[in-house]
Chain A
Amino acid sequence: MTSEYNDKYLHEFLILKWIEMDFIINRNQFFDSIFLEEDLEYKSHARYFNSLTKYNGLILPVFDFNTFLKDTFGSGVNNTFNIGLICSISLFSKINQSLYRNYILKEKIDITQKYLALKINVKAGIKRIPLSEIRLIPTGLREKMNQEGVLGCRFTIKKNIQYFVDIETIICKFLREKG
Protein backbone atom coordinates (compact mmCIF):
# COMPACT_ATOMS: atom_id res chain seq x y z
CA MET A 1 0.00 0.00 0.00
CA THR A 2 1.45 3.38 -0.95
CA SER A 3 1.54 6.13 1.61
CA GLU A 4 1.73 9.90 1.37
CA TYR A 5 2.62 10.20 5.04
CA ASN A 6 5.62 9.31 7.07
CA ASP A 7 5.18 5.76 8.31
CA LYS A 8 6.97 6.50 11.61
CA TYR A 9 3.50 7.10 13.13
CA LEU A 10 2.92 3.50 14.12
CA HIS A 11 0.29 2.62 16.68
CA GLU A 12 -0.76 -0.64 18.33
CA PHE A 13 -4.15 -2.02 17.41
CA LEU A 14 -5.94 -5.24 18.19
CA ILE A 15 -7.09 -6.92 14.99
CA LEU A 16 -10.18 -9.13 15.24
CA LYS A 17 -10.02 -11.59 12.36
CA TRP A 18 -13.47 -12.42 11.06
CA ILE A 19 -14.44 -14.19 7.84
CA GLU A 20 -15.61 -11.43 5.50
CA MET A 21 -13.79 -8.54 7.16
CA ASP A 22 -11.58 -7.67 10.09
CA PHE A 23 -12.00 -5.11 12.86
CA ILE A 24 -9.31 -3.01 14.49
CA ILE A 25 -9.46 -1.58 18.00
CA ASN A 26 -7.10 0.95 19.53
CA ARG A 27 -4.83 -0.94 21.95
CA ASN A 28 -5.17 1.95 24.43
CA GLN A 29 -8.86 1.21 24.95
CA PHE A 30 -8.18 -1.90 27.05
CA PHE A 31 -5.43 -2.88 29.47
CA ASP A 32 -5.83 -6.59 30.11
CA SER A 33 -7.59 -9.69 28.85
CA ILE A 34 -9.05 -12.78 30.49
CA PHE A 35 -10.55 -16.08 29.39
CA LEU A 36 -14.33 -16.00 29.65
CA GLU A 37 -14.83 -19.53 30.89
CA GLU A 38 -17.28 -18.98 33.68
CA ASP A 39 -19.27 -15.97 32.61
CA LEU A 40 -22.67 -15.85 34.28
CA GLU A 41 -25.78 -15.03 32.34
CA TYR A 42 -27.89 -12.12 33.51
CA LYS A 43 -30.65 -9.93 32.15
CA SER A 44 -29.54 -6.38 31.73
CA HIS A 45 -31.38 -3.18 30.83
CA ALA A 46 -28.87 -2.60 28.04
CA ARG A 47 -28.63 -4.65 24.87
CA TYR A 48 -25.56 -6.88 24.49
CA PHE A 49 -24.81 -6.77 28.22
CA ASN A 50 -25.95 -10.31 28.86
CA SER A 51 -23.38 -11.85 31.19
CA LEU A 52 -21.07 -11.16 34.12
CA THR A 53 -17.51 -12.20 34.78
CA LYS A 54 -15.00 -11.94 37.61
CA TYR A 55 -11.76 -9.98 37.45
CA ASN A 56 -9.44 -9.47 40.47
CA GLY A 57 -12.32 -10.12 42.88
CA LEU A 58 -14.65 -7.68 41.11
CA ILE A 59 -17.79 -8.53 39.17
CA LEU A 60 -17.82 -7.00 35.71
CA PRO A 61 -20.61 -6.74 33.17
CA VAL A 62 -19.68 -8.28 29.82
CA PHE A 63 -20.54 -6.51 26.58
CA ASP A 64 -21.01 -9.16 23.88
CA PHE A 65 -19.00 -7.56 21.11
CA ASN A 66 -19.13 -10.75 19.03
CA THR A 67 -22.90 -10.67 18.76
CA PHE A 68 -22.87 -6.93 18.11
CA LEU A 69 -20.44 -7.37 15.19
CA LYS A 70 -22.44 -10.29 13.82
CA ASP A 71 -25.72 -8.36 14.04
CA THR A 72 -24.29 -5.18 12.58
CA PHE A 73 -21.85 -6.32 9.93
CA GLY A 74 -23.41 -9.69 9.10
CA SER A 75 -20.02 -11.30 9.39
CA GLY A 76 -18.97 -14.46 11.20
CA VAL A 77 -15.92 -15.97 12.79
CA ASN A 78 -14.47 -19.48 12.61
CA ASN A 79 -13.84 -20.00 16.30
CA THR A 80 -16.01 -20.41 19.36
CA PHE A 81 -13.49 -19.56 22.09
CA ASN A 82 -13.94 -16.14 23.61
CA ILE A 83 -11.84 -13.82 25.70
CA GLY A 84 -12.73 -10.68 27.61
CA LEU A 85 -10.88 -7.41 27.06
CA ILE A 86 -10.83 -5.42 30.29
CA CYS A 87 -11.65 -1.76 29.72
CA SER A 88 -11.31 0.97 32.31
CA ILE A 89 -14.31 3.24 32.59
CA SER A 90 -11.98 6.07 33.68
CA LEU A 91 -10.78 6.27 30.07
CA PHE A 92 -14.28 7.12 28.90
CA SER A 93 -15.30 10.76 28.43
CA LYS A 94 -16.87 12.42 31.49
CA ILE A 95 -20.32 12.23 29.89
CA ASN A 96 -19.91 8.54 29.14
CA GLN A 97 -18.56 7.81 32.63
CA SER A 98 -21.70 9.37 34.04
CA LEU A 99 -23.81 7.37 31.60
CA TYR A 100 -22.11 4.19 32.76
CA ARG A 101 -22.62 5.02 36.46
CA ASN A 102 -26.33 5.55 35.81
CA TYR A 103 -26.47 2.19 34.06
CA ILE A 104 -24.84 0.44 37.03
CA LEU A 105 -27.32 2.07 39.43
CA LYS A 106 -30.24 0.79 37.36
CA GLU A 107 -28.91 -2.75 37.26
CA LYS A 108 -29.34 -3.11 41.05
CA ILE A 109 -26.67 -5.78 41.35
CA ASP A 110 -23.21 -5.66 42.82
CA ILE A 111 -21.06 -4.90 39.81
CA THR A 112 -18.04 -2.63 39.70
CA GLN A 113 -18.14 0.89 38.31
CA LYS A 114 -14.44 0.71 37.43
CA TYR A 115 -14.25 -1.79 34.61
CA LEU A 116 -16.22 -3.70 32.06
CA ALA A 117 -15.33 -6.66 29.88
CA LEU A 118 -15.70 -6.86 26.14
CA LYS A 119 -16.38 -10.34 24.81
CA ILE A 120 -14.40 -10.99 21.65
CA ASN A 121 -13.38 -14.08 19.75
CA VAL A 122 -9.95 -15.44 20.51
CA LYS A 123 -8.99 -15.15 16.85
CA ALA A 124 -7.28 -11.80 17.29
CA GLY A 125 -3.83 -10.31 17.48
CA ILE A 126 -2.04 -7.10 18.34
CA LYS A 127 -0.19 -5.35 15.54
CA ARG A 128 1.57 -2.03 15.04
CA ILE A 129 -0.06 -0.32 12.09
CA PRO A 130 1.13 2.86 10.32
CA LEU A 131 -1.58 5.47 10.79
CA SER A 132 -1.08 6.40 7.14
CA GLU A 133 -2.70 3.09 6.19
CA ILE A 134 -5.96 3.94 7.93
CA ARG A 135 -8.47 5.80 5.81
CA LEU A 136 -11.26 8.05 6.98
CA ILE A 137 -14.81 7.13 5.99
CA PRO A 138 -15.88 8.96 2.79
CA THR A 139 -17.37 12.37 3.59
CA GLY A 140 -21.00 11.57 2.86
CA LEU A 141 -21.11 8.72 5.38
CA ARG A 142 -18.48 9.91 7.86
CA GLU A 143 -20.64 11.68 10.43
CA LYS A 144 -23.22 8.89 10.59
CA MET A 145 -20.65 6.10 10.83
CA ASN A 146 -18.54 7.96 13.38
CA GLN A 147 -21.67 8.34 15.54
CA GLU A 148 -22.15 4.59 15.29
CA GLY A 149 -18.54 3.96 16.32
CA VAL A 150 -16.97 3.23 12.93
CA LEU A 151 -14.09 5.68 12.58
CA GLY A 152 -12.26 4.51 9.49
CA CYS A 153 -11.09 1.57 7.48
CA ARG A 154 -7.95 -0.04 6.14
CA PHE A 155 -7.45 -2.18 3.07
CA THR A 156 -5.00 -5.04 3.40
CA ILE A 157 -2.75 -6.68 0.85
CA LYS A 158 -5.15 -9.64 0.80
CA LYS A 159 -7.82 -7.24 -0.55
CA ASN A 160 -9.69 -7.45 2.70
CA ILE A 161 -11.28 -4.55 4.58
CA GLN A 162 -10.63 -3.78 8.23
CA TYR A 163 -13.03 -1.46 10.02
CA PHE A 164 -11.52 0.76 12.71
CA VAL A 165 -14.10 0.77 15.51
CA ASP A 166 -14.40 2.78 18.71
CA ILE A 167 -15.60 0.54 21.53
CA GLU A 168 -16.55 3.42 23.86
CA THR A 169 -18.96 4.89 21.29
CA ILE A 170 -20.45 1.49 20.51
CA ILE A 171 -20.97 0.48 24.14
CA CYS A 172 -22.36 3.85 25.19
CA LYS A 173 -24.81 3.90 22.30
CA PHE A 174 -26.53 0.87 23.83
CA LEU A 175 -26.37 2.28 27.36
CA ARG A 176 -28.03 5.44 26.03
CA GLU A 177 -30.72 3.56 24.12
CA LYS A 178 -31.93 1.79 27.20
CA GLY A 179 -30.96 4.49 29.68
Chain B
Amino acid sequence: MDNNEILKHIETNKNKPVKKSSESEKLLKFMIVQVNNKKYAFFAHQIKEIVTNVSLYFVPFVPPYIRGFINRHGEPHTVFDLNALFEKETLESSTFLISNFENDQIAFLVSAVTEILKIPESKIHMIKSSNENDELFIGSVTSDDDEIFIINLPNIKVRLENDL
Protein backbone atom coordinates (compact mmCIF):
# COMPACT_ATOMS: atom_id res chain seq x y z
CA MET B 1 0.00 0.00 0.00
CA ASP B 2 1.65 3.25 -1.14
CA ASN B 3 0.96 6.65 0.33
CA ASN B 4 -1.71 7.50 -2.23
CA GLU B 5 -3.49 4.32 -1.46
CA ILE B 6 -3.17 5.09 2.21
CA LEU B 7 -4.64 8.57 1.74
CA LYS B 8 -7.42 7.20 -0.44
CA HIS B 9 -8.23 4.64 2.18
CA ILE B 10 -8.29 7.30 4.89
CA GLU B 11 -10.50 9.55 2.77
CA THR B 12 -12.92 6.76 1.97
CA ASN B 13 -13.24 5.59 5.53
CA LYS B 14 -12.86 8.82 7.47
CA ASN B 15 -16.45 8.94 8.72
CA LYS B 16 -16.76 5.30 9.45
CA PRO B 17 -16.35 4.24 13.06
CA VAL B 18 -13.26 2.22 13.75
CA LYS B 19 -14.14 -1.33 14.52
CA LYS B 20 -11.99 -2.75 17.25
CA SER B 21 -11.37 -6.43 17.47
CA SER B 22 -13.28 -6.69 20.76
CA GLU B 23 -16.21 -4.53 19.66
CA SER B 24 -18.32 -7.45 18.67
CA GLU B 25 -18.59 -8.22 22.38
CA LYS B 26 -20.26 -6.00 24.96
CA LEU B 27 -18.12 -4.89 27.88
CA LEU B 28 -19.69 -4.57 31.31
CA LYS B 29 -18.27 -2.26 33.94
CA PHE B 30 -17.95 -3.43 37.53
CA MET B 31 -16.93 -1.79 40.76
CA ILE B 32 -14.89 -4.26 42.80
CA VAL B 33 -15.02 -3.80 46.56
CA GLN B 34 -13.27 -5.38 49.49
CA VAL B 35 -15.49 -6.47 52.37
CA ASN B 36 -13.27 -7.74 55.17
CA ASN B 37 -11.16 -10.38 53.40
CA LYS B 38 -13.50 -10.99 50.47
CA LYS B 39 -14.13 -9.22 47.21
CA TYR B 40 -17.53 -8.52 45.68
CA ALA B 41 -18.56 -6.86 42.44
CA PHE B 42 -21.28 -4.31 41.83
CA PHE B 43 -22.47 -3.27 38.39
CA ALA B 44 -20.85 0.17 38.21
CA HIS B 45 -24.06 1.86 37.05
CA GLN B 46 -25.77 0.77 40.28
CA ILE B 47 -23.43 2.89 42.41
CA LYS B 48 -23.58 6.65 42.22
CA GLU B 49 -21.26 7.76 45.01
CA ILE B 50 -18.59 6.62 47.45
CA VAL B 51 -18.52 8.40 50.81
CA THR B 52 -16.30 8.03 53.83
CA ASN B 53 -16.30 9.14 57.45
CA VAL B 54 -19.96 10.02 57.84
CA SER B 55 -21.94 9.29 60.99
CA LEU B 56 -23.83 6.02 61.15
CA TYR B 57 -27.08 6.28 63.11
CA PHE B 58 -28.64 3.32 64.92
CA VAL B 59 -31.99 2.05 63.59
CA PRO B 60 -34.18 -0.29 65.68
CA PHE B 61 -36.46 -3.13 64.53
CA VAL B 62 -34.17 -4.31 61.72
CA PRO B 63 -32.04 -7.42 61.03
CA PRO B 64 -28.37 -7.33 62.14
CA TYR B 65 -27.13 -6.71 58.59
CA ILE B 66 -28.88 -3.33 58.59
CA ARG B 67 -26.37 -1.17 60.40
CA GLY B 68 -28.38 2.03 60.49
CA PHE B 69 -28.87 5.21 58.52
CA ILE B 70 -26.38 7.62 57.06
CA ASN B 71 -27.27 11.15 56.11
CA ARG B 72 -26.53 11.87 52.47
CA HIS B 73 -27.60 15.31 51.25
CA GLY B 74 -30.19 15.47 54.03
CA GLU B 75 -31.77 12.14 53.12
CA PRO B 76 -31.57 8.99 55.27
CA HIS B 77 -30.01 6.00 53.51
CA THR B 78 -30.39 2.46 54.83
CA VAL B 79 -26.95 0.91 55.32
CA PHE B 80 -26.48 -2.78 54.47
CA ASP B 81 -23.48 -4.56 55.96
CA LEU B 82 -22.55 -7.26 53.43
CA ASN B 83 -20.18 -8.94 55.88
CA ALA B 84 -23.00 -9.28 58.40
CA LEU B 85 -25.29 -10.58 55.66
CA PHE B 86 -22.91 -13.19 54.24
CA GLU B 87 -20.49 -13.95 57.07
CA LYS B 88 -22.66 -13.11 60.12
CA GLU B 89 -20.01 -10.74 61.46
CA THR B 90 -20.32 -6.99 61.51
CA LEU B 91 -17.80 -4.96 59.54
CA GLU B 92 -15.84 -2.13 61.11
CA SER B 93 -15.45 0.48 58.42
CA SER B 94 -16.54 3.98 57.46
CA THR B 95 -16.68 3.61 53.68
CA PHE B 96 -20.12 3.57 52.09
CA LEU B 97 -21.34 3.03 48.55
CA ILE B 98 -24.48 4.98 47.73
CA SER B 99 -26.65 2.95 45.38
CA ASN B 100 -28.57 4.25 42.42
CA PHE B 101 -31.96 2.77 43.26
CA GLU B 102 -34.74 5.04 42.04
CA ASN B 103 -37.33 4.10 44.64
CA ASP B 104 -35.20 3.56 47.74
CA GLN B 105 -32.21 5.08 49.47
CA ILE B 106 -29.69 2.32 50.07
CA ALA B 107 -26.01 2.33 50.95
CA PHE B 108 -23.50 -0.48 51.44
CA LEU B 109 -20.79 -0.63 54.05
CA VAL B 110 -17.53 -1.87 52.54
CA SER B 111 -13.87 -1.98 53.61
CA ALA B 112 -12.60 -0.33 50.42
CA VAL B 113 -13.18 0.09 46.71
CA THR B 114 -10.33 -1.75 45.02
CA GLU B 115 -10.80 -1.29 41.26
CA ILE B 116 -13.10 -0.72 38.32
CA LEU B 117 -13.14 -3.58 35.82
CA LYS B 118 -14.44 -3.81 32.26
CA ILE B 119 -15.27 -7.39 31.52
CA PRO B 120 -16.67 -8.97 28.32
CA GLU B 121 -20.18 -10.26 28.82
CA SER B 122 -19.06 -13.75 27.86
CA LYS B 123 -16.66 -13.83 30.80
CA ILE B 124 -19.45 -13.51 33.35
CA HIS B 125 -20.41 -16.80 34.90
CA MET B 126 -24.08 -16.88 35.73
CA ILE B 127 -25.25 -18.69 38.87
CA LYS B 128 -27.93 -21.31 38.52
CA SER B 129 -27.96 -22.60 42.07
CA SER B 130 -30.93 -22.70 44.39
CA ASN B 131 -28.78 -22.00 47.46
CA GLU B 132 -30.31 -19.22 49.56
CA ASN B 133 -27.16 -17.09 49.57
CA ASP B 134 -26.55 -17.63 45.86
CA GLU B 135 -29.79 -15.81 45.13
CA LEU B 136 -28.04 -12.73 46.45
CA PHE B 137 -25.53 -13.01 43.61
CA ILE B 138 -26.19 -12.77 39.89
CA GLY B 139 -22.99 -14.53 38.94
CA SER B 140 -19.27 -14.09 39.15
CA VAL B 141 -16.37 -12.56 37.28
CA THR B 142 -12.73 -13.58 37.27
CA SER B 143 -9.98 -11.08 38.04
CA ASP B 144 -6.36 -12.02 38.78
CA ASP B 145 -7.45 -15.61 39.37
CA ASP B 146 -9.99 -14.41 41.93
CA GLU B 147 -13.59 -15.48 41.49
CA ILE B 148 -15.61 -12.41 42.48
CA PHE B 149 -19.31 -12.68 43.11
CA ILE B 150 -21.61 -10.05 41.61
CA ILE B 151 -24.11 -8.60 44.07
CA ASN B 152 -27.76 -8.95 43.06
CA LEU B 153 -29.15 -5.68 44.40
CA PRO B 154 -32.86 -6.31 43.73
CA ASN B 155 -32.66 -9.65 45.55
CA ILE B 156 -30.92 -8.07 48.53
CA LYS B 157 -33.90 -5.74 48.82
CA VAL B 158 -36.24 -8.73 48.61
CA ARG B 159 -34.23 -10.45 51.34
CA LEU B 160 -34.76 -7.47 53.63
CA GLU B 161 -38.50 -7.43 52.90
CA ASN B 162 -38.67 -11.10 53.88
CA ASP B 163 -36.65 -10.58 57.04
CA LEU B 164 -38.69 -7.68 58.37
Contacts and interface: CB of A to CB of B under 8 A. Distances in A.
Contacts of B61: 72, 144-145, 148, 150
Contact of A2 (B62, B74, B78, B161): B74
B56 to A, nearest CB: 10
B66 interface: yes
7 contacts: A73-B58, A138-B78, A140-B104, A141-B62, A144-B61, A153-B57, A161-B55
A135 interface: yes
A138 B77 contact: yes
Nearest to A155: B71
Interface string B45-81: 0000000000101111110001001010011111000
Contact of B76 (A20, A73, A153): A153
Interface residues of B, number: 23
A145 to B, nearest CB: 6
Given A2-B74, A140-B104, 5 more contacts: A138-B104, A140-B161, A144-B164, A155-B71, A159-B71
Contact of B106 (A138, A144, A153): A138
Contacts of A150: 60-61
B35 to A, nearest CB: 20
Secondary structure of the A side of the interface? mixed
A139 B76 CA distance: 10
Given A138-B106, A141-B164, A161 B57 contact: yes
Contact of B60 (A1, A72, A138): A72
A137 interface: yes
B129 interface: no
A74 interface: yes
A131 interface: no
B9 to A, nearest CB: 57
B111 to A, nearest CB: 23
B66 A141 contact: yes
A2 B72 CA distance: 12
Nearest to A132: B74
Nearest to A20: B58
A21 B103 CA distance: 27
A140 B74 contact: no
A113 to B, nearest CB: 30
- A73, A138, A143, A159 — which one has the most chain B CB atoms within 10 A of its CB? A138
B160 interface: yes
Contact of A155 (B58, B66, B74, B164): B74
Nearest to B55: A159
Nearest to B157: A140
Given A20-B58, A73-B58, A140 B71 contact: no
B105 interface: yes
A139 B103 contact: yes
- B60, B78, B157 — which one has the most chain A CB atoms within 10 A of its CB? B60
Given A144-B61, A150-B60, A139 B74 contact: no
B76 A140 contact: no
Contact of B75 (A135, A143, A159): A135
